[in-house]
Amino acid sequence: MSQINVTLPDGSIRNYPQGTNAFEVARSISEGLARNVLAAEVNGEVWDSTRELPENTALKLLTWNDDDGKMAFWHSSAHLLAEALEALYEDVKFAIGPPIENGFYYDVDFGEKTFSSDDLPKIEKKMKELAKQKNEFVRKEISKADAISYFTEKNDPYKLEMIEALEDGKITFYTQGNFTDLCRGPHIPHTGTVKAVKLLSVAGAYWRGDENRQQLTRIYGITFPKEKELKEYLEQVEEAKKRDHRKLGKELELFTFSERVGLGLPLWLPKGTMLRERLEQFLRKEQVKRGYEPVVTPHIGHKNLYITSGHYEKYGEDAFQPIKTPSEDEEFFLKPMNCPHHCEIYKTKPRSYRDLPLRLAEFGTVYRYEQSGELHGLTRVRGFTQDDAHLFCTPEQVKDEFKSVIDLVLYVFKVFGFTEYSAQVSLRDPENKTKYVGDDANWDLAEQQIKEAAEEKGLPTVIEYGEAAFYGPKLDFMVRDAIGRKWQLGTIQVDYNLPERFELEYTGSDNKPHRPVMIHRAPFGSMERFVAILIESTAGNFPLWLSPDQLVVLPISERFNDYAKNIVQKLRESDIRGSVDERNEKIGRKIRDAEVAKTPYMLLVGEKEVESNTISIRKKGEGDLGTMTVEEFTNHFISAVDAELAE
């Protein structure tokens, strides 16, 4: 029997008989490993572990500890959910059931039947019953005609619509137990690996995201190989609910929304505005140190601006509709991006290589139409402010400028306590280059420069194909918050294409015209999303320097209110923000309310403090700090802020 060569991640090469699969390779290493294998990475692609390996294979065995292993587990769990639904509900029809970052969902059409979260427990019970049967996931290649025949007989219009777009010869079915689904895979070996099941919620979802099409029922769920892991996850979910930025944003009086103003358009309240302004001041100050120049651009732009940039072609149909003017054929758009405006600023005068790099920075508000069902607090809105900057440089300067932006992003993470992060190199989809603009040579060069810059900074990265911006590749930063959730924060992009489209030039040392290269960057990403993540990561316990209300003065009785106001005024002269709680309440109630409001310092004043011209200090989390003069407290406060920023 002929042999195949299998190369393992440590570089070792093993020989196996032809017909061997990844599960059998795992078993040849150890029975324990084989029990834990969920899927396999075969020559860079994720496969079922039971699928026959090719002649020469670079193999990585995937377990629960690998992201792709979890995805296969949750993808299989979505099929298990569908099998349970088909067993319980007659005439149910299925759309899509993908894995997501935490769990999976399946979009289902129940027809005339009313479905609610009250139905979830019985479905969970059925899923556990089916899981115990340890039914194998069996992959089968099938012709397009047979696939159409199967789902026609089953009367499943959603699957038929998906099949129409598929190429004959590349269609596969997966079957476990009595359920068969149209699916590319991969899947776990059998259902018995699923030991813990929780269906989390029910929501509405339009077929293919189109508001004009059928509304389906989306069932979210999560599964684990052990009950203990489900318990830990549910505890994390409860903690996340307490930290929900929408809940805390209301309680802390940071922002609100109004249907009269419009969905997805946040209104920043005074305390939230103070928080935003502190964030802006922090980054503005740091940008000045690093040679950035501030600019301001309008909230709208002429249609031709976005035709030139390519944004109209790529996003015009999904944007807000054009703004008409009294002049015939004149159309404007709400600004979806700041970069076209910055290109026009670059063109205001001739540029020399001596002028570069030119770093233009703007806290620019942009507008993008998101479907109402996709809106979510501050993390998904229709109007948001980017901490945007565009660096115009020579090709020789690209790598150094890119590395300096990496330094800035990592400095921001350090200041805000995001110590766990990873970097993703987002490249073009090699199979569908029509989604992007520009020639291959420039794309290849930009992609190489990003990889080299990250490597030279010692930044571990993962490659993701198909995640690039339409005009260039990028480096995206993913951070884990205080309870382990992953968020995308900060992005840096290399762009050879917009300078070409806008015909940007500089005069080189050879006295000839040359094209600059653009670097797009946003360390926060957007102010709205960054604030949401900051709220949830800190549970509203902001760093002292960032807190909207850094202190509250609590008079023991109303006759000390004037003294308290005088204290606040003196502290404001040192840029220390606070207020007076003038309510006719007992001091115990005032202290409790200040703690609920997460105010860092409480300054108590009564007869003793008035007589000695002092204040009694109480700090959140530390308790009483004793009595100080205003000057002593000011010095203490400034030292505390300096210590925070120096950590």
Would residue 621 be called left, alpha or beta, if left means φ above 0 and alpha means ψ between -120 and 50 degrees?
Answer: left
Element (H, E) at 618: strand 615-619
Which of 176, 198, 287, 386 is flagged as catalytic? Answer: 386
Identify whether the C-beta of residue 427 lies closer than 8 Å to the C-beta of residue 447. yes
Q: CA–CA separation, 318 vs 52, rounded Å? A: 44
How many CB atoms sit inside 10 A of residue 298's CB?
10
Which of 520, 529, 590, 598 is flagged as catalytic? Answer: 520
Q: Is 176 a catalytic residue?
A: no
Identify whether the C-beta of residue 200 lies closer than 8 Å to the C-beta of residue 220. yes
Which of 388, 476, 495, 549 is flagged as catalytic? Answer: 388
Would residue 132 be called left, alpha or beta, if left means φ above 0 and alpha means ψ between -120 and 50 degrees?
Answer: alpha
DSSP 8-state assignment for residue 380: B
Q: Is 390 a catalytic residue?
A: yes
Please name which of 17, 13, 14 lies closest in space to residue 3, comparing C-alpha atoms. 17
Identify whether the C-beta of residue 350 lies closer than 8 Å to the C-beta of residue 511. no
Please name which of 350, 385, 342 lies closest in space to residue 524, comparing C-alpha atoms. 385
Q: CA–CA separation, 182 vs 106, rounded Å? A: 13
Q: CA–CA separation, 491 vs 166, rounded Å? A: 34
Burial class (CB in 10 A: 0-12, 13-18, 19+), 366: middle
Contact partners, residue 425, CB within 8 Å, separation at least 6: 447, 450, 451, 454, 461, 462, 463, 464, 473, 474, 475
DSSP string, 66-119: SHHHHHHHHHHHHHHHHHHHHHHSTT-EE----EETTEEEEEEE-TT----GGG
Which of 139, 368, 382, 529 is flagged as catalytic? Answer: 368
DSSP string, 112-149: T----GGGHHHHHHHHHHHHTTT-B-EEEE--HHHHHH
Q: Is 388 a catalytic residue?
A: yes
Q: CA–CA separation, 81 vs 97, rounded Å? A: 9
Task: Order across the sheet with 623-628: list the strands.
Answer: 578-580, 551-555, 601-605, 615-619, 623-628
Which of 68, 181, 339, 387 is flagged as catalytic? Answer: 339
Q: Is 368 a catalytic residue?
A: yes
Please name which of 590, 585, 589, 584 lies closest in space to residue 602, comparing C-alpha atoms. 590
Q: Is 512 a catalytic residue?
A: no
Q: Is 550 a catalytic residue?
A: no
Q: Is 386 a catalytic residue?
A: yes
Q: CA–CA separation, 314 vs 66, rounded Å? A: 35
Which of 126, 276, 351, 390 is flagged as catalytic? Answer: 390
Q: CA–CA separation, 296 vs 298, rounded Å? A: 7
Would residue 16 be called left, alpha or beta, if left means φ above 0 and alpha means ψ between -120 and 50 degrees?
Answer: beta
Q: CA–CA separation, 203 vs 217, rounded Å? A: 6
Active site residues: 339, 368, 386, 388, 390, 474, 520
